[in-house]
């Protein structure tokens, strides 16, 4: 009897089996992309199972003493049934893949359309506020004694772009120290110590700021407001809406935002007499025994490192090298020559382009070159806060062979990365730092929102604390599809590596 199968391994031609493509597949960090990738992989496994079952030895046997023909027929029928079931499963997985792709992309298109409408409405409102700012400033200056029109204009402009988290009391302290002196005099007369007064002010701002950013919708609204900066400027300069829209369409929203940031960063640097950021001190450091293979472990390295940048070199099983680079966040918000990770560096990073790095991202590229990372050496980049923006900008240049990039709590929405890089961009719900990059145009990384357990940070940046990201990333792979997918890819890429060298880099101006 014949079972109708081809023996000796069978033939996969005409059986619907499709081998995975050998070329690198672009990494899609969206839920739709990862779900479709897993369905596709499962379909390939089911097709392989069909091939394996069809390759079973032939059960065609001649009737002879001791041969259980009925048993052989039953076995053949069972194999046929399993082949049919595996084929049906593969077909179902392929159908689920196509349906998931269609539904996911349709949802993304609808979401983009809604977001585009919100941006359009916010842009129109921002243009109107920018156009009305001078009149509002003059009117307020007349009605508020002791306030100059310039100060009111500055406050109105800040409010118009949504930067309500800026403590206006600090502005008042700088521009009108006499009011601060009067307040301190009243406190002294009332017997309130200065330390107690400052502690009460700080406590109030911490509580108010934390509640402000925790308000649902505030952080997305901040991103929309920052995305409308160019419309505010256009209104302030009297540029008509159609002309501003044409300029934005011709240049590109992200490119225009970068140009504004570059101009602001250059102005701050020249005005404050700051030098460009550079990798000032590069010293050797002991490497770990094995490469970092999980997001939480990478975040622990960043939180615990002594300098701004840590670089590890690993020897891989095939004999090649692999580098892992860890970049921490902002150290000082005011201009500070003792660190290259200050406030102005954030502006400089926002104004960087793949052809020209302007801030701490330039120092990062310099440090990587000093560590001997070549153009063909695989690199894993891990960045937090400003370090995430710097890492994304370096990856966007294409100077290095970046294979994975973990960007934590950073303004990276507008940074377009090369195809093929496995990217994980995460931010806590209520973390305003990630919103400082605006909304992007859809070509940058998709940021995954994580729940924060709290308990480490206070004030406006309560959900930005590095220790909180360590905890949330440690638990995320168990219940977050995207984080789990990135963790699997990172483990596969770093398996078997052994540490051979390390560097610690201090960044200065």
Over the stretch 128-152, which tens digit does the pLDDT of each residue have? 776 776 665 555 444 444 444 444 4
CA–CA distance from 214 to each of 97, 190, 205, 209, 463 (Å)?
A: 37, 35, 14, 8, 9
Question: Which pLDDT belongs to residue 192?
Answer: 63
Question: Which pLDDT belongs to residue 489?
Answer: 92
pLDDT tens figures, 39-73: 888 888 888 888 888 887 766 656 667 667 777 77
Alpha carbon distance 54, 156 (integer Å): 75
pTM for the predicted model, two decimal places: 0.67
Percent of the chain past pLDDT 90, that is, above it, reads 35
Q: Rounded mean pLDDT of 451-469?
A: 83
Percent of the chain past pLDDT 70, that is, above it, reads 67
Backbone angles phi, psi at 456, to 5 degrees: -110, -40
Question: Which pLDDT belongs to residue 132?
Answer: 72
Backbone angles phi, psi at 193, to 5 degrees: -60, 150
164, pLDDT greater than 70: no
Q: Rounded mean pLDDT of 16-42?
A: 62
12, pLDDT greater than 70: no
Question: Which pLDDT belongs to residue 139?
Answer: 53
Alpha carbon distance 440, 446 (integer Å): 10
Q: In what order do the strands lie in the sheet with 309-315?
A: 278-284, 498-508, 309-315, 321-327, 378-384, 401-408, 422-428, 447-450
Token reading at 13: 């031609």
Q: Which range (238-247, 251-260, 334-343, 358-367) has the least confidence? A: 251-260
pLDDT tens figures, 310-368: 999 999 998 999 999 999 999 988 888 889 999 899 989 988 999 999 999 999 999 99
Q: How many CB atoms lie within 10 A of CB 103?
A: 11
Look over the chain and give the mean of its residue pLDDT values, rounded to a whole number. Answer: 78
Question: Which residue did the predictor score with more confidence, 75 or 392?
Answer: 392
Helix/strand/coil for 341: coil
8, pLDDT greater than 50: no
């Amino acid at each position: 009897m014949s079972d109708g199968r081809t023996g000796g391994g069978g033939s996969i031609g005409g059986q619907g089996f499709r081998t995975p493509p050998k070329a690198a597949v672009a990494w899609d960090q969206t839920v739709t992309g990862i779900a479709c990738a897993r369905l596709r992989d499962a379909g390939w496994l089911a097709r392989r199972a069909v091939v394996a079952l069809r390759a079973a030895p032939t059960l065609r046997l001649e009737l002879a003493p001791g041969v259980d023909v009925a048993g052989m027929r039953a076995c053949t029928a069972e194999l046929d049934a399993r082949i049919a079931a595996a084929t049906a499963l593969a077909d179902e997985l392929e159908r689920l893949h196509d349906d998931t792709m269609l539904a996911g992309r349709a949802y993304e298109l609808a979401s983009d359309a809604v977001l585009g409408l919100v941006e359009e409405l916010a842009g129109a409102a921002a243009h109107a506020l920018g156009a009305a700012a001078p009149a509002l400033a003059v009117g307020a200056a007349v009605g508020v004694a002791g306030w100059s029109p310039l100060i009111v204009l500055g406050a109105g402009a800040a409010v118009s772009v949504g930067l309500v988290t800026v403590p206006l009391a600090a502005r008042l302290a700088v521009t009108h120290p006499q009011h601060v002196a009067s307040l301190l005099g009243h406190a002294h007369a009332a017997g309130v110590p200065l330390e107690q007064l400052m502690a009460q002010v700080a406590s109030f701002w911490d509580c108010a700021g934390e509640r402000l950013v925790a308000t649902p919708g505030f952080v997305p609204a901040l991103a929309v407001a920052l995305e409308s900066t160019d419309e505010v400027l256009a209104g302030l300069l009297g540029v008509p809406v159609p002309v501003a829209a044409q300029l934005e369409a011709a240049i590109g929203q992200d490119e225009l935002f970068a140009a504004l940031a570059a101009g602001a960063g250059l102005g701050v640097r020249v005005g404050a007499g700051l030098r460009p950021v550079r990798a000032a001190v590069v010293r050797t450091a002991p490497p770990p025994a094995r490469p970092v293979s999980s997001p939480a472990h990478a975040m622990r390295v960043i939180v615990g490192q002594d300098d701004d940048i840590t670089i590890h070199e690993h020897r891989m099983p095939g004999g090649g090298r692999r580098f892992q680079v860890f970049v921490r966040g902002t150290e000082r918000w005011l201009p500070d020559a003792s660190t290259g990770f200050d406030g102005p560096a954030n502006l400089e990073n926002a104004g960087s382009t793949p052809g020209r790095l302007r801030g701490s991202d330039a120092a990062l590229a310099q440090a990587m070159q000093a560590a001997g990372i070549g153009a063909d050496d695989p690199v894993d980049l891990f960045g937090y806060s400003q370090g995430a923006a710097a890492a994304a900008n370096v990856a966007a240049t294409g100077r290095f062979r970046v294979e994975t990039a973990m960007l934590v709590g950073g303004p990276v929405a507008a940074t377009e990365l090369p195809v093929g890089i496995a990217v994980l961009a995460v931010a806590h719900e209520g973390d305003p730092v990630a919103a400082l990059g605006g909304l992007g145009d859809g070509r940058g990384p998709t940021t995954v929102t994580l729940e924060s357990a709290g308990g480490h940070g206070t004030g406006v940046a309560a959900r930005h604390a590095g220790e909180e990201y360590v905890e949330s990333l440690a638990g995320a792979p168990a219940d977050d599809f995207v984080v789990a997918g990135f963790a699997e890819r990172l483990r596969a890429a770093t398996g078997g590596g052994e540490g051979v060298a390390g560097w610690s880099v201090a960044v200065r101006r």
